[in-house]
Structure 1
Amino acid sequence: MNEQAKIPGTAEAWESGELGQDERFVKVADPIDEAALNDALDLQLISIRLQKALIEDFKMIAKANGIGYQPLIRQVLKRFADSEKKRLIREMMAEREQREAFEEQQAKKLQEEAERKQYA
């Protein structure tokens, strides 16, 4: 029996390749049900036309990061959408605060005007 020291399952061990890259433990994955996978990950198939150069850029960036280009595109779109939602919410909150401040200012003016008329 070949006893080797157990490698601790840390993030560093996975990232460095100590874990997860030994070919002795490689096996072909079972066939997957793509519909079930899409449902589980809440994915929807779409069709989009992109410039060839842009696709090549995504492929190069994805390869440098060790992922596929389509998951990279999903990440980029998700980051953009999250960022835009936050920006829109900040803008709406700022507009709401301005409107509330204006309404408060108007109410204060009406109150002061009513008090002046009362004492006049």
Structure 2
Amino acid sequence: MSNAKKIPGTVEAWEQGDLGEDEAHAVVAPDESAALDRALGLQAVSIRLQKSLISDFKFLAEEHGMGYQPLMREALRRFAEAEMKRLAVKYANERRRGAAAQGDSKPKRPKAA
């Protein structure tokens, strides 16, 4: 029979640290962040930003109920997507102008192979 003192599993025992804070029972959780990053297609980057910009993102993120880093990721994704669309329209318009300058009113579609 054990002489160990049994501590009741009450809320107070947990909050006071009588339970849950004994290093003998602590186990380091496996680091699964690399697998999660791979699964989500994420890559860590290092970037220097003005403190005021980070503060602005932290404020905005709180207003949106999310962390500031996911908000930054979303803002960058939206910007890149909008720029890619803008460039696609720009190049399509240039192509149309080039075709019109050569006497064609409409660009010709490539023939199917």
The two structures have a TM-score, normalised by structure 1, of 0.60
Question: Displacement of 1:82 after TM fit?
Answer: 0.3
- Structure 2 counterpart of 1:97: 96
Structure 1 alignment gaps of length 5 or more: 1-29, 106-120
- 1:31: Cα distance to partner? 5.9
Alignment length (residue pairs)? 76
Shift of 1:104: 2.2
Relative to total residues, which structure has the larger helix share, 1 or 2? Answer: 1
Mapping for residues 45-84 of structure 1, pairs under 5 Å: 45-84=44-83
- Residue type of the partner of 2:56? D
Shift in Å, 1:103: 1.3
Residues 39-65 of structure 1: per-residue CA shift (max 9 Å, x gap): 011000000000000000000000111
Q: CA RMSD in A?
A: 1.4
Q: Give percent identity, aligned residues only.
A: 50
Any runs of at least 4 consecutive aligned residues in structure 1 with deviations exceeding 4 A, and if so which? Answer: none
CA distance in 2, matches of 1:90, 1:72: 27
SS at match of 1:67: coil
Q: How does 1:1-120 map to 2 (within 5 A)?
A: 33-104=32-103
